[in-house]
């Protein structure tokens, strides 16, 4: 992976933390997924008072990609 692309992914992951919903831990996480098609999907963690139902930023990014039609065969 080229350094420029890697830096872009890092910057986008950091920026996506702004969308985090972390009222309990106050630990905001951002993540990005680069797909085979070249599209980038971001995600942020979402907490719930019932801890096990919280969702991590990585899962959000992957779910967004899949819900937009991305597939890995």
- Neighbouring C-beta atoms of residue 43, cutoff 10 Å: 25
- In angstroms, the CA 16 to CA 38 distance is 18
- Which positions are annotated as active-site residues? 58
- In angstroms, the CA 50 to CA 34 distance is 30
């Amino acid at each position: 992976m080229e350094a420029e692309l890697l830096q872009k992914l890092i910057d986008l992951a950091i920026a996506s933390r702004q969308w985090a919903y972390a009222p309990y831990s106050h630990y905001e996480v951002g993540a990005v997924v680069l797909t085979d098609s070249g599209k980038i999907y971001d995600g942020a963690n979402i907490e719930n008072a019932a801890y096990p139902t919280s969702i991590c930023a990585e899962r959000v990014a992957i779910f967004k990609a899949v819900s937009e039609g991305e597939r890995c065969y």
